[in-house]
Chain A
Amino acid sequence: MTAPVTLSLAVNGAVHEVTVPPRKLLSDVLREDLGLTGTHVGCEHGVCGACTILIDGQPARACLTFAVQMEGHDLTTIEAVSEGDRLSPLQQALHQVHGLQCGFCTPGIIMTVTAYLRDHPDPDEVEIRDLLSGNLCRCTGYQNIVKAVIRAAAEIRARAPA
């Protein structure tokens, strides 16, 4: 079965119809068919983390998933993280403490960490470094990413209703 199939994908709260070959990766469909190029593609082996998105709220590699598998699932990409022009606390923190240089790894890091902080609001540094091991960054040396995550976590906790 290699003929293109039509499927509907729920991405960032909107439903899109696409007609794609069944063997086309979710990462490629997001970028090429939906124009959501914020999801980056590095290794296509699940290793680098650049393509990380949320499937039903949990971080997952878009490069290890076929788009046809995603009917009936809820997808979130980097494009939905900020509210309009207002950066999310993590985006703001990465900006403030220089947690990115070229920015290639950044979308994957934001998706992974955003989901993690939702479930683990007060991580220690060891935990953060363990978490970040799933996302390769060739520029920053990670120090400022770790700082940004600590800062964002504090900001999110401060904002949460007591």
Chain B
Amino acid sequence: MLNMRLAQPEHLIDLNDLIELDRVIDHGEWVEVGALTRHHRVATAPEIRQGVPLLADAAATIGHYAIRQRGTLGGSLVQADPAAQLPLVAVTLGADVMVRSRRGRRTVAAAEFLRAIMSVDLAGDELVTGVCFPRQPDGERWAFDLFSRRHGDFAIVAVALTLQLDDAGAIVALRLGVGGVGPVPMRLTAVEQRAVGLVPDGDTILDLARNAAAAITPEDDPLVPAKYRRDLVETLTARALRRVTADWPEVTT
């Protein structure tokens, strides 16, 4: 924010030495990740890889190795870049952001915390202390995918999804989040509802992906036409759905 001259604060507080906020705690139903946890740790911590694998996979795609050693979960959420990986996963999984100030503590749903482009529900005296991610249920499948022009750049469009199937192979629950298509990442609830009960074969996947593309209203910008973003949503959604169905290891082996 400072580097891009987007912020010119009078005072700057360095949180990096609050190492007690660099932590991962497994509470069973929830996995709590401290605000100062670096992306690299989010991508590799065993508690996250097991309990919230969508989060770990997404974190592994952020920037580059050296960037992941320094960037933090709290910083990424508060910066609230519309295409950032971690806010997208927080919204998709319904995570809670934990906020603290001298006045007390409060918890905000990630979808409400992220208000607009680079704008969040946080007062001047408040600090994000961590994020609680609900544990992904056993047997749930997940996929994270993005498209960027150069490897390691912020995504143009990113897609996060989780899928549960019943014994007959029909969809019990789909969570589908997209980033980079509006001011904040969002769930495509209409597509999620449409999916329930369907068997995700090739045609169904194409239909769901087309519906996802139709559900968003990206704006034209000088570098990326709206149609291009919509096409990306369709392609990435179809690819992610294929990855959790036909290409899912348990199914093919």
Produce 1/0 per residue, B124-152, CB < 8 A to A.
Answer: 00000000000000000000000000111
Residue numbers in A under 8 Å from B224 (CB-CB): none
Q: Is B65 an interface residue (CB 8 A)?
A: yes
Q: In the complex the two chains form, is B70's CB within 8 Å of A134's CB? A: no
Of B14, B63, B69, most buried by chain A (CB within 10 Å of CB) is: B69
Q: Is B106 an interface residue (CB 8 A)?
A: no
Contact (A46, B67) CB under 8 Å given A69-B14, A69-B16, A72-B17: yes
Residue numbers in A under 8 Å from B6 (CB-CB): none
Query: Which secondary structure characterizes the binding site on chain B?
Result: loop
Q: How large is the interface on A (under 10, 10 to 19, 20 to 34, 35 or more residues)?
A: 20 to 34
Residue numbers in A under 8 Å from B150 (CB-CB): 133
Query: Which secondary structure characterizes the binding site on chain A?
Result: mixed
Produce 1/0 per residue, A37-76, CB < 8 A to B.
Answer: 0000000111001001001001111011110110010000
Of B65, B69, B150, B152, most buried by chain A (CB within 10 Å of CB) is: B65
Q: Which residue of A lies closest to B153 (CB)?
A: A47
In the complex, what's the smallest C-beta–C-beta distance from B63 to chain A, in angstroms?
Answer: 7
Q: Which residue of B lies closest to A53 (CB)?
A: B66
Within 8 A of B (CB), among A10-58: 44-46, 49, 52, 55, 58
Q: Which one of A44, A61, A64, A133 lies within 8 Å of B151 (CB-CB)?
A: A133
In the complex, what's the smallest C-beta–C-beta distance from A137 to chain B, in angstroms?
Answer: 13
Produce 1/0 per residue, B62-75, CB < 8 A to A.
Answer: 01111101100000
Q: How far is the CA of A134 from the CA of B65 in the complex (A)?
A: 7
Q: Is A131 an interface residue (CB 8 A)?
A: yes
Residue numbers in B under 8 Å from A55 (CB-CB): 70
Q: Is B252 an interface residue (CB 8 A)?
A: no
Subset of 30 A-B contacts with CB under 8 Å: A1-B11, A45-B3, A46-B3, A49-B64, A49-B66, A52-B66, A58-B69, A60-B66, A60-B69, A61-B67, A61-B70, A63-B3, A65-B70, A69-B14, A72-B17, A112-B65, A112-B66, A130-B65, A130-B151, A131-B64, A131-B65, A133-B64, A133-B150, A133-B152, A134-B63, A134-B64, A134-B65, A134-B66, A134-B67, A134-B152
Identify the A interface with B (CB < 8 A): 1, 44-46, 49, 52, 55, 58-61, 63-66, 68-69, 72, 112, 116, 130-131, 133-135
Identify the B interface with A (CB < 8 A): 3-4, 11, 14, 16-17, 63-67, 69-70, 150-152
